[in-house]
Amino acid sequence: MRIVYEYSHLGGAEILQVRYPDCEREIADVISRVKAQKNKISSEKTMPGRALFSPKDMNDQFREAFRSKGYMELRDTYTITLPNSDIEIRGAFKQIDFVKGKVLVEVQFGKYAFMFYDMAKFQYFFNENKADVGIEIVPCHALHTQMSTGVSYGEQLVYDIERLKRHFPAVPVKVILIDADESV
């Protein structure tokens, strides 16, 4: 895959470049190693029989590549309680797919709400002093048009972050938009 656009929120790209240059190189290398293939045949009403890029296949490749470079899952488990209530819910958690040091990385091929929820998770771990920067790797619009309906695209995320200004997320983030290699 290839990077087609990078967006820096609150200095996310600069923090990655200056404080974590090895992670920056590793993330770029991982992206370049993932080979998007149209190996999913759609059964959706709007595009029956059409060959599409498979989010599952790409996620599996990302997982293998990041793990091979020492990135691990980060999970915080806690109990939910509410003010003035006896409610207690054990075993709730927040989780990030790939972490090395204080660099958090999420790869998101899901619905838009999940992209935005990743921003909330970055904020949570930043507030817990477990992160300095969050990296969100998402499909660009061109890739999104060749995937199942429901998959969102990074341009929408960047557009919304720009309009929220410094208010949310209040954590340094680098958003990386990716596309399939041109030869696909």
DSSP labels, 41-86: E--STTSTT-EE--HHHHHHHHHHHHHHTT-EEEEEEEEEE-TT--
First to last CA, the chain: 10
Q: Rounded to an integer, what distance in angstroms lies between the CA atom of residue 126 and that of residue 123? A: 5
Total-model pTM: 0.91
DSSP 144: H
30 falls in which pLDDT band (50, 70, 90)?
very high
pLDDT of 6 above 90: yes
- Average pLDDT on 152-176 reads 91
Closest listed residue to residue 106, CA positions, set 54, 176, 170? 176
- pLDDT tens digits for 42-92? 777 777 777 788 888 999 999 999 999 999 999 999 999 999 999 999 999
What domains does the chain contain, in order, with CATH numbers? 2-179 (3.40.91.20)
Q: Is the pLDDT higher at 43 or at 33?
A: 33
Cis bond upstream, residue 139 (ω within 30): no
Here the tokens at position 32 are 């370049």
pLDDT of 184 above 80: no
- pLDDT tens digits for 87-144? 999 999 999 999 999 999 999 998 888 998 999 999 999 999 999 999 999 999 999 8
Q: What is the pLDDT of residue 28?
A: 98
Query: Quick check: 71 and 105 in contact, CB under 8 A?
Result: yes
Angle (CA) 33 153 4, round 5°: 45
pLDDT of 31 above 90: yes
Instruction: Indicate if the alpha-carbon torsion angle 62, 66, 72, 74 is positive or negative.
Output: negative
pLDDT of 146 above 90: no
pLDDT of 183 above 60: no
